[in-house]
Each structure stands twice: as structure tokens, then as C-alpha cells.
């Protein structure tokens, strides 16, 4: 059974973290639909433990830097970051563009590491930020090699909203895109998330062959035309393979990631929603091992 007091405190923390400005107890009470006395009690406890500060003893509260410290401690304990940092540095040096490391979390990709490129370009990304899976190279690289149930669940949970005219918003088109990614071993965000930005990404597998993260290279379209994106994609794919080996891929019983097979163009698109869609994804996955082995073998 859920601890209601803890759930309310966590909801309050998330609400404060989402606001660019300090908030009052009245605002938090109205937004979270929690009584004002309860909000005050939560704020008082959080303040006593150093998680919240009150501005000049006035009505406004903000989160303290203690949460930032805790976040950095989590990052320091993550072997994934340590294993991939040299790979990101190498990619950044070779491409001279911005490189990222991200992990899937609750149907989105969360940035864990970022190295800025040397060119005059700044991506709209920061460590800790969550971005969609269906329209980013990082997210699509993971989706393409997830077990079918998890891939479908991620797409259904967050939906497929349009961010640019090039965003893929149909499930049939997404199935074909994931098949393409499986075949080549890397994904391309072809101006699907941010206008004027093109990215390439590749998955990182653990010892079971399950994608646990992805790395990417981002650049303005003026410096990364589509042909170059494919060239960079091969480099990113190789970087992902090195990171996968560092995380134990190839040393365990499973050497083949579980993938989702394509919807054939010559057939009507299969319905992917509901039980029937799940069965379709499973049928495709049953045929996938040889294809996945070929993709990984090219790395």
C-alpha cells in the first residue's frame, strides 16, 4: 500500500522542481489539491532536513542545493557514466559536435552526460532533462531493440506528439522506422524533435542484450546533412558497441538483443494497439535473432 504522506511530499518536491520560481504554500495547495495545513507540515519537515529553503522568512519556498548534491552522488555511483565517458570524448573529438549519454526512464530518455562540441552551436539539453523517445535518436535507438511489450508500453504511455513537421506520429510508420534502425544499428533524428537539429544515436546493451542506454551526436543540419548523419551513425554505432562490451554485453548467456521486426510495406499495417498489437510485435520478435546478430556483428 502506498504511503500517502510520502507520496504527497514527493509530489510537492516535483512541483517545486518544475517551477522556475519560488512557490507559496497557497499555490502548492491549490496545484496539488492538498490541504494547506498539510502543505505547511511537509514544507516544515523538508526545511528541517535541508531540502527546502524559505526566502527571507516570507511566503515563498524553493528547493535547496541538497537535492543537487544527492543527484551528483547518484551520478558518481553510476558505472555507466564512467564506462562511456572515454567513448563520448573520442566521438566528440572525431565529430567535433555535441555528444550525449541518456537512459530510458518511464517512457522517456534522461540525459546522464553531455560533452559540448567545438562549433558555434548549443543544443537545448542538460543533464537530468527528460526528452521523448519517439522523436529523438537516443529514444528510437533504445525502442528499436527493446522487448516488444516494453517498446509498445513506452509509446502508449507517453503517446507520440508532434514536435516538428517531420515527427513520426503514426504507429505503422514508427514500426518501419524501428525496423530500419535494427537493420543499420543506429537511429537518426531527422529534424524530428528540434527545428534545425539532426542527431544520430545508438544503443548500449547490458550483459543480457537489453538496451539500457544510448549515446548520440547532435549538430545543426547545416553541419550534418543526411549523408553525413549516416557516416556519423556508423561511428556512433561502433561507440555503442564498445560501451556495450564495457557493460558486459557478449560475456553473458545472451549475445543477441531482443528486437521488434518491421511491418512489411507490401502488407496492410498491423494494428499495434491492444492485445492484437502485442501479438504482432511478438511475432516479429520471434524472427529477429539472426538480424540482430548481423547488426551487432558489424560493430
Judge: domain 78-297, CATH 3.30.450.40. yes
pTM: predicted TM-score of the whole model, two decimal places: 0.66
Judge: domain 4-69, CATH 1.10.10.10. yes
Report whether pLDDT(5) > 80.
yes
Domain spans of the chain, in order of start: 4-69, 78-297
pLDDT digits (tens, 9 = 90+) for 7-49: 999 999 999 998 989 999 999 999 999 999 999 999 999 999 9
Cβ-count burial 127-147 (b if 16+ within 10 Å, e if not): beeebbbbbbbbbbbbbbbbb
pLDDT digits (tens, 9 = 90+) for 128-172: 889 999 999 999 999 999 988 888 888 988 899 999 999 999 989
Classified as helix, coil or strand, 33 is: coil
Q: Are 4-69 and 78-297 in the same CATH fold? A: no
C-alpha distance from residue 140 to each of 2, 71, 91, 137, 268 (Å): 33, 26, 19, 5, 23
pLDDT digits (tens, 9 = 90+) for 81-136: 888 999 999 999 999 999 999 999 989 999 999 988 876 666 667 888 899 999 99
Amino acid at each position: 500500500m502506498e504511503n500517502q504522506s510520502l507520496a504527497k511530499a514527493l509530489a510537492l518536491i516535483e512541483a517545486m522542481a518544475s517551477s522556475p520560481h519560488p512557490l507559496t504554500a497557497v499555490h502548492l495547495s491549490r496545484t496539488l489539491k492538498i490541504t494547506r495545513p498539510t502543505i505547511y507540515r511537509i514544507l516544515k519537515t523538508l526545511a528541517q532536513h535541508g531540502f527546502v529553503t524559505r526566502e527571507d522568512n516570507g511566503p515563498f519556498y524553493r528547493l535547496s542545493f541538497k537535492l543537487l548534491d544527492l543527484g551528483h552522488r547518484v551520478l558518481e555511483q553510476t558505472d555507466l557514466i564512467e564506462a562511456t565517458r572515454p567513448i563520448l570524448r573520442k566521438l566528440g573529438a572525431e565529430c567535433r559536435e555535441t555528444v550525449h549519454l541518456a537512459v530510458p526512464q518511464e517512457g522517456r530518455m534522461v540525459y546522464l552526460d553531455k560533452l559540448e562540441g567545438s562549433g558555434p552551436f548549443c543544443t537545448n539539453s542538460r543533464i537530468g532533462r527528460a526528452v521523448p523517445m519517439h522523436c529523438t535518436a537516443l529514444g528510437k535507438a533504445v525502442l528499436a531493440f527493446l522487448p516488444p511489450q516494453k517498446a509498445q508500453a513506452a509509446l502508449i504511455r507517453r503517446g507520440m506528439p508532434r514536435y516538428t513537421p517531420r515527427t513520426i506520429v503514426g504507429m505503422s510508420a514508427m514500426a518501419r522506422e524501428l525496423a530500419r534502425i535494427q537493420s543499420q544499428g543506429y537511429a537518426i533524428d531527422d529534424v524530428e524533435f528540434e527545428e534545425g537539429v539532426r542527431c544520430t544515436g545508438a544503443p548500449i546493451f547490458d550483459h543480457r542484450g537489453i538496451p539500457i542506454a544510448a549515446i548520440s551526436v547532435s549538430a545543426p543540419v547545416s553541419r550534418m546533412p543526411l549523408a553525413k548523419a549516416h557516416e556519423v551513425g556508423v561511428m556512433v554505432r561502433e561507440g555503442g558497441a564498445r560501451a556495450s562490451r564495457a557493460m558486459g554485453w557478449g560475456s553473458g548467456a545472451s549475445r543477441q538483443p531482443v528486437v521488434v521486426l518491421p511491418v512489411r510495406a507490401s502488407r496492410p499495417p498491423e494494428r499495434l494497439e491492444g492485445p492484437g498489437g502485442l501479438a504482432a510485435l511478438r511475432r516479429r520478435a520471434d524472427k529477429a535473432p539472426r538480424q540482430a546478430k548481423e547488426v551487432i556483428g558489424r560493430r
